[in-house]
């Protein structure tokens, strides 16, 4: 048994009843249930529809995300989240680069790496090298002035934790940022790379080994073993190519406003909603949200 979940931006509220009913009738689903009027609805299905990809593309043009999830094990016990452009709206290395006067150059490398066009580890070393000599105090400035949470992130973490879930922030970025973001949003663990500092300035090198795609998969394996749960019990969310390992291994791997290469491989995707859409995928109603 499956559940069809339709979500839209919580600000647009453009998920209309006639659209939900048309899809339900076309797929022979059970009665629709509203999780949030105008923003999220679902209905049960006996089997995975053959034309899911085609219908998903059509609804995407209307500002609606379509995902079909199994009923069994729908609510997850571990949230494994990327940070940059996932739990926050920025790429931290790009923001540091802007302060160093090399913003466009670094941002171009970041975009290519996140779409899987170039290797993550080499791209990180190249970007960090361009930060050599930057005063380490700029990190606090960037955190205070440039970093903003992704909408719905605090609600996602708080609601899942209120129902017994643990949460881990696993980033290819830097601990100087994950520690602050993790504390702000209520994560239980955080893992990331380090920026090396000497005499109060960035050296232009990251700590080794670099945490990339394999490290995120390792985090999934280690934390599920520590908690005594299966990988099927994990909800993973990310936007870049270095997230694909954990997205494809987790029971529910969600590409959030992701790069094209990531959307092509991830089983679930959210292009229009915010992070609260991940709660709807698990069957939470808006009335269940914890802020």
Report how far residue 257's alpha carbon sits from residue 239's, in angstroms, rounded to the nearest whole number: 6
pTM value?
0.95
Cα–Cα distance measured from residue 11 to residue 26, given in angstroms and rounded to the nearest whole number: 28
Catalytic residue among 65, 82, 94, 243: 82
User: Which residue is catalytic, options 84, 233, 243, 274?
Assistant: 84
Using alpha carbons only, what angle is made at residue 94 by residues 92 and 99, rounded to the nearest 5 degrees? Answer: 100
Both tokens of 125, joined, read 């070393």
Q: Where are the domains of the chain?
A: 1-72, 75-291
Q: Give 128-143 pLDDT, tens digit per residue.
A: 999 999 999 999 999 9
If one looks up domain 75-291 in CATH, what number appears?
Answer: 3.40.50.1000
The reply to whether 274 belongs to the active site is: no
Q: What is the pLDDT of residue 12?
A: 78
Give CA–CA dist 8/173, Å, rounded: 29
Q: Which residues of the chain have pLDDT under 70?
A: none
H helix runs in 153-283, sequence order:
153-162, 175-185, 213-227, 244-249, 260-265, 277-281
Instruction: Measure the CA–CA gap between 256 and 216, rounded to whole angstroms.
Output: 16
| Catalytic residue check, 84 | yes
Pick the CATH number of 1-72 from 1.10.155, 3.30.70, 3.40.50, 3.30.450: 3.30.70
Q: What integer pLDDT is reported at residue 291 of this predicted model?
A: 86
């Amino acid at each position: 048994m499956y559940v069809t979940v339709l979500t839209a931006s919580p600000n647009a509220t453009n998920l209309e009843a006639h659209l939900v009913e048309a899809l339900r009738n076309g797929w022979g689903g059970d009665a629709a249930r509203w999780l949030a009027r105008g923003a999220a609805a679902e209905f049960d299905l006996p089997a995975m529809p053959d034309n899911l990809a085609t219908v998903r593309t059509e609804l995407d043009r209307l500002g609606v995300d379509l995902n079909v999830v199994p009923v069994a094990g729908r609510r997850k016990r571990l949230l494994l989240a990327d940070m940059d452009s996932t739990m926050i709206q920025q790429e931290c290395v790009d923001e540091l680069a802007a302060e160093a006067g090399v913003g466009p150059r670094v941002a171009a490398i970041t975009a290519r790496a996140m779409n899987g066009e170039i290797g993550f580890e080499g791209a990180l070393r190249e970007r960090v090298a361009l930060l050599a000599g930057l005063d380490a105090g700029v990190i606090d400035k960037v955190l205070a002035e440039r970093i903003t949470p992704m909408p719905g992130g605090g609600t996602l973490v708080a609601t899942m934790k209120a129902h017994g879930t643990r949460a881990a922030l696993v980033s290819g970025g830097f601990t100087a940022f994950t520690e602050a973001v993790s504390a702000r949003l209520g994560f239980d663990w955080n893992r990331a790379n380090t920026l090396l500092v000497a005499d109060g300035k960035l050296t232009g090198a990251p700590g080794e080994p670099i945490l990339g795609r394999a490290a995120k998969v390792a985090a999934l394996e280690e934390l599920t073993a520590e908690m005594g749960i299966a990988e099927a019990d994990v909800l993973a969310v990310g936007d870049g190519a270095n997230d694909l390992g954990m997205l494809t291994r987790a029971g529910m791997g969600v590409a959030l406003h992701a790069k094209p290469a990531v959307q092509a491989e991830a089983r679930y995707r959210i292009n229009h909603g915010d992070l609260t859409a991940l709660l709807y995928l698990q069957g939470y109603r808006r009335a269940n949200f914890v802020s």
